[in-house]
Structure formats: structure tokens, C-alpha cells
Amino acid sequence: MTTDTNEQEDSMSTVNPTRAPHPDVRTGPKTPEGRVGAGLFDPKQLVTSLPDAFRKLDPRVMIKSPVMFVVLVGSIVTTVLAIKDPGDWFGWVIAAWLWLTVVFANLAEAVAEGRGKAQADTLRKAKTDTVARRLLRDGTSEERVPGTELRVGDLVVCEAGDVIPGDGDVVEGVASVDESAITGESAPVIRESGGDRSAVTGGTKVLSDRIVIKITTRPGETFIDRMINLVEGAARQKTPNEIALNILLASLTIVFLLAVVTLKPFAIYAGADKQTSLIVLTALLVCLIPTTIGALLSAIGIAGMDRLVQRNVLAMSGRAVEAAGDVSTLLLDKTGTITLGNRQAAGFVPVRGATEAELADAAQLSSLADETPEGRSVVVLAKEKYGLRERHQGELAHAEWIGFTAQTRMSGVDVDGHRIRKGAVGSVIAWVREQGGSVAEDADGIANRISEAGGTPLLVAVEDEVGARVLGVIHLKDVVKDGMRERFEQLRRMGIKTVMITGDNPLTAKAIAEEAGVDDFLAEATPEDKMALIKREQAGGKLVAMTGDGTNDAPALAQADVGVAMNTGTSAAKEAGNMVDLDSNPTKLIEIVEIGKQLLITRGALTTFSIANDVAKYFAIIPAMFAVAYPSLDKLNIMGLASPESAILSAVIFNALIIIALVPLALRGVQYRPMSADRMLRRNLGIYGLGGLVAPFVGIKIIDLLISLIPGIR
């Protein structure tokens, strides 16, 4: 088997060649976006979440959300007042709807957490009490110990059929591993010592061969343990933006609390004491404080992490998801992310005195024994473009196949008196001259033009009865994935700068960057170069995201604001990053940014709706409270509500129901569209600001009409 990539090393000044993806790399989300909200009102899910909603009524839990804690206190106060006056139906109804408001808010969070707990239960099944075969100090003897007794640095042996007892790195051997319990993907993956596919996870199963694993994590702190805590929300911490918004909501609550308290003296002075009972004032306070966003804020954060989990991305913290929404620079590996990762034959360029058909025939013959993607592409191109029938090694049993070696940097075949060689430009030219042949004057020129265009030239030469001579050049091209230019243009409209990272030489990197449409590139990249680039971007006030899988990527992953480590990568990479892509699909970084932006937009949109919502409810309650004392205020009763009691009750009911109505939006998220910040602000104000003003007028009026039909209320 030959390796065309190595054959042309003399035409590449690569310091750290970019790694090509392994066949176990899987792409695409396992779950469609529509599933996020599809099961929201599944009766089974609601029944499962309802007990959690009631358990969250614990004041020690509610105090974490100041807005909803005030509603809880209001519910208790109105209930006590209703008990003191059992005949006051108004007090009982207000108390009941305030309790429903609190329960609905808790239900939103419980439903969001419920899906994470369902996945956590699945992960728990992957945790088994395994018996480990620990190597003794002599390196040959083994002892069987419970997996819980393993310590960091222990060496354990796993063979076909064994369950891996803990997280670690393969230090000896290569094996096929079943990771379906973690990724949901049934296809086995390859794990081997050295390189960037050495990490294994406890609870996965070895399907073939024998490997020796060095344990890197203590029991109880394994990858699965962390996944369980994170996906069920147990380890979720509030993000800086979420904390800031909580402070804002608490401040607004205090302001409205002071405003409502001062209404009582004014009401006594105006002779409207009966209209401003403690129950009415409590109802007013609950309707004026931002209960909608206060109830949904936690669910929005949980749902953001849940959307990542559905795409098989594990965020180690909510801060990472939030940071993804503010990213302004993306660092992307070229190979496997922007390009397909395998160079493909794009054309045959003959030198003067040779024909394309002659070159294509020789190139195909020399590639029949080459099972690399590059070699297969040469065979296919000759067949499709030049009509050459694809021949097989079996038909050429008498042929002598020349394998690639690092010394010769060539491969080829000797058949029917012909000696054909294919390989690096300098090596093939030297071979031709050793055979006493001549090299066409334009051979070097053709090879240089292909290199300058970002391609890789491979020379093809033949020795026959005419003599040794160069026939021409195979143009290998790193193929850019379909749609990448459009994706980068989309990111550009989002205000995100894209930087391609590659080990290729600057000429090749420049050509690929121009074809793909990225904003900038870093060629011949070393770990130090990546780190320096990230620091420069951050020094300019930008947030940076990058992907990586190797130990040499760990420093840059740790430095980046959003570091996405591939699950196929090393333990060092996964420890350094703040996200792990279980599918090991580098292009998913773009989706992660979109999910982060969707989280921020959803939070902003619902905050806008909530505040606008409160303004509208003001016009329902205030006129109802003071219209008797100040008849002129009746002009503010623009909805024409039936009575003060009906107006207040309608506002409280609407305040509770709107939370339930917005839960699907909070969990699914506001649809993200790439646009400028100004345009996005105008859109949110137009849809959610105006919607927040109009919805209460319509909703409260409809509820008032229904209430007025009940005898004794009008």
C-alpha cells in the first residue's frame, strides 16, 4: 500500500501536518431540532415532572429565584387571609391562581430537567460494577480487583468482551470499542496507543483484541459521572449573564414592592381602602413584577444545554454555552472540517511530447495497488474522465508492485516490460535520470503551478523500449466540502471571523482559504502558534472558539473561551476543553455557536416580552383599584373590563397562563437568523415587545368576558 500524502512531502514545508479524521468520526445530530418541543405536553412527561414541581416549592429552593420567591410569599399571605375570611370567594380564587403561578413556573424548570434526567438514567445503565484486571509492578502478572478500587496511574488489561473499568488512555495495543452507551452510535470505534485516539471511557466495551489502559480518573469522577450530573442539571451553575439578569429582576421586584406598599396610604387618603385590600395589593405586585421571565429563566438555561446534548455535545458548564453565543472568532482545522480530509485527483497534466490518455493509463496502473483515498481517486478519475476500464490486481498477476517507502517516496508497478513510477516531484525526476532518461523542461513548471494553486503535484514516469521519461503530473486537490463558503458567509453576517488552522505550507493554505471563503488562515501551525493567535484575539476583547483532539491541542483548548474537544481525542484534550463532542465532528463548532446565540436571543426576547407584558397589565389593575375614588381613572380602563374584581382576577389568571403558554418557546428557543445587532434588536422589539404589550389586552379581555358570565361576579 502506498501513501500519496507522504510521496509529495518534498513539495510541502509542513511542520505539523493536520490530522485526517478517522473513519469512526460520525457526523450530524442524532436528534432533530423539532424533538425539543415535540414531547413537551406528553402526558407521561408532565406526570413525571409534576412531583418535582411541587418539591421545588421548598423556600430554600425558591429563594434562588427572587421573583418567584416573592410570588410564593404572596401565595402564602393570600391563603392565610382567605382562611381568616372563608366566605370571601375572591380571596380564595386569587390564592389558588397565585399557587398555580408558582407551580407552573416550577413545572417549566422540571420539564426542562426531566429530559436530562431521562438521558441520565440511560447513562447510569452504562455504569456497572466491573472487575478490573490490574497489572502488577512486574508488568506481566495480573490481579483482579473491583473497579472502584482503581487509582490514577494504575494499568489494567482489557480484552474482547471486557467492560472498561474506568476512564484512561490506551498505552499498549489497539482494539475496537463499543461506545454506544455514551454516543448512541452503534458503530464501533478504534482506540489505540499513541496518537490522538487513545482515550477510553469507563463503561464502554472492548469488542476485539487486547489493550492496556492507564487509569486517569478517580472512581466517582469519571466522564460518565460528570455527564450524569450535567445532563440532569444537578451540576448546572448560573452563568454570568443569567446572574446579572437575576439581579436586574430582583431590583425591579424591589422597586415594584416599594411602589405597591406606598399605594396603601394613598388609598386610605383617597377613601379607596376597600379596593386596596392586602389581597388586591398582593395580586397587583405579582402582576407587575417580571414573573414571566423570572419563571422561565432557569428553564431557558437548562434547555440550552439540552439542545447541545441532543446534538451529542456535552457542555461542562452553562458558561461555555453562553460564551458560544458571544464568540467573535472561530478557529477551524482545515482537514476534516473545511475540506473532506482526503486529497482527490482533479486532473492529469501531460508534459510536452506526452498525451493525456497515455498519462492517465500509466497513472491508473501505478495506483491499482494503492488503497488510500488519493490512490483510489486516481483510478476513478482515469476511468470516468478518459474512459479507461478499471483494471484489478488480479488481472495483472505477473506484475511486480512497488510499494511506497519513506526513502524512495515513490510507488509503482513493473508490468509487460514497462516500469511505471508515481511520487514526489524530486524523487521521480531523480529516478528518471538514474535510468538515463530525460526530463521534460516543463515538468517543474507544471508542478510549481499546481503547488501555487494549493494543489499537490505527483509526477508519473515510465521506462519502456523508448527509454525513461516523465509523462506528466497528477493534480491532487484537497476538496472543500459543499456549502462551506455559504456557512462562512453566514458566520460573517453574524459578525464572526473565521480562521483556518492547517499544517500546510502558506501557498496551499492560501488557495484553500480563498476557495472556502474563510477570513484568515494560519499555515504551518504549531501548538505555540495556535496559543499565540488565541491570546491576540482575546487581547482585542474577542471571545474565541476552537476545536481539537490531541494533547498538543490541550493548551489552546484551555485558553479558548469555547474549547470543543473531540471524544476520539486524548484525555488531556477532553480535560482542557469546556465542551466534548461525542460524535467527534469538528464542523459541529458552527452549530454550537448557533445554539449559544439562540440561547442569548431567547433569553433577551422573553425578557422583552415579560417587561412589556407587565406594562399592559398595569392598565388592567390600576383603573380597577382607584376608579371608585377617582372616576376620571375610568378612562384608563380601555379594555372595558366588567368590574374591579373581574379585572384583577383576569390579570392574575392571565399572568399564570402566559407562563405555561411560553414554556414551549423557552425550551425550543427562538429561531436564530443571522443578522446585525441593530436589526435583531428591531426584530425583537417588534415581535416580542409589541407582542408583550398586545397579548395581555387581548388575553385579559377574553378572560374577563368568561368570568363575567359566572353569576354573582359582575
pLDDT in tens, 84-135: 988 888 899 999 999 999 999 988 888 777 766 666 666 666 566 678 899 9
The residue ranges of DSSP E strands in 216-318, in sequence order, are 313-315
pLDDT for position 185: 57
Task: Kindly indicate the confidence band of residue 82, based on its pLDDT and cuts at 50, 70 and 90.
Answer: very high
Of 369, 392, 367, 394, the C-alpha closest to 378 is 367
Q: Determine whether 65 is exposed, middle or buried from the number of CB atoms within 10 Å of its CB (0-12, 13-18, 19+).
A: buried
Residue 410 labelled as part of a binding site: yes
Complete domains list, the chain, with CATH: 43-114+239-306+600-708 (no CATH), 131-165+167-216 (2.70.150.10), 313-338+481-582 (3.40.50.1000), 340-479 (3.40.1110.10)
pLDDT for position 241: 75
Task: Kindly indicate the confidence band of residue 68, based on its pLDDT and cuts at 50, 70 and 90.
Answer: very high
Under a CB-based contact definition with an 8 Å cutoff, are residues 357 and 363 in contact?
A: no
606 membership: H or E segment, kind and range = helix 588-626
Task: Kindly indicate the confidence band of residue 388, based on its pLDDT and cuts at 50, 70 and 90.
Answer: low
Catalytic hit among 4, 333, 561, 704 = 333
Q: Stretch 534-558: mean pLDDT, rounded? A: 85
Backbone angle region of 339, left / alpha / beta, with phi > 0 → left and psi within -120 to 50 → alpha: beta
pLDDT over 70, % of the chain: 82
Q: Which of the two residues, 162 and 398, has the higher pLDDT score? A: 162
pLDDT for position 37: 38
Per residue in 197-211, pLDDT (tens digit) is 788 888 788 988 889
Per residue in 363-382, pLDDT (tens digit) is 888 888 777 777 788 888 88
Residues 137-141: contacts with CB within 8 Å, 24+ apart? none
pLDDT for position 712: 61
Cβ-based neighbours of 648, under 8 Å, separated by 6 or more: 94, 280, 283, 284, 620, 621, 624, 625
Residue 680 labelled as part of a binding site: no
**Phi, psi (degrees; rounded to nearest 5) at 209:** 65, -165
Q: Which of the two residues, 552 and 574, has the higher pLDDT score? A: 574
Cell of 168: 484512561
Q: Determine whether 251 is exposed, middle or buried from the number of CB atoms within 10 Å of its CB (0-12, 13-18, 19+).
A: exposed
- Concatenated DSSP letters for 517-564? T-SEEE-S--HHHHHHHHHHHHHTT--EEEEE-SGGGHHHHHHSSEEE
Say what the pTM is: 0.65
Q: Stretch 480-487: mean pLDDT, rounded? A: 81
Residue 553 labelled as part of a binding site: yes
**How are strands ordered across the β-sheet holding 410-415?**
339-350, 467-480, 456-464, 418-423, 410-415, 400-402
Strand partners, 214: 155, 169
Q: Stretch 202-223: mean pLDDT, rounded? A: 84
Q: Which of the two residues, 229 and 156, has the higher pLDDT score? A: 156
- Annotation says 333 is catalytic: yes
Cβ-based neighbours of 32, under 8 Å, separated by 6 or more: none
Answer whether residue 145 shows pLDDT above 70: yes
pLDDT for position 273: 64
d(CA 474, CA 375): 11
pLDDT for position 78: 94
Residue 634 labelled as part of a binding site: no
pLDDT for position 590: 82
Answer whether residue 34 shows pLDDT above 60: no
Q: Stretch 314-320: mean pLDDT, rounded? A: 76
Among 6-10, 463-467, 468-472, 633-637, the minimum mean pLDDT is found in 6-10
Under a CB-based contact definition with an 8 Å cutoff, are residues 86 and 96 in contact?
A: no
Q: Which of the two residues, 167 and 270, has the higher pLDDT score? A: 167
Residue 44 labelled as part of a binding site: no
Answer whether residue 189 shows pLDDT above 60: yes
Task: Kindly indicate the confidence band of residue 75, based on its pLDDT and cuts at 50, 70 and 90.
Answer: very high
d(CA 282, CA 276): 9
User: Mean pLDDT over all residues of the chain?
Assistant: 79
Residue 408 labelled as part of a binding site: yes
pLDDT for position 30: 40
Residue 528 labelled as part of a binding site: no
Per residue in 241-298, pLDDT (tens digit) is 778 888 888 898 899 899 888 887 877 776 666 667 888 889 889 988 999 998 888 8
pLDDT for position 94: 92
pLDDT for position 392: 54
Q: Stretch 29-46: mean pLDDT, rounded? A: 47
pLDDT for position 554: 82
Q: State the first-to-last Cα distance of the chain, in angstroms, to the nearest integer.
A: 90
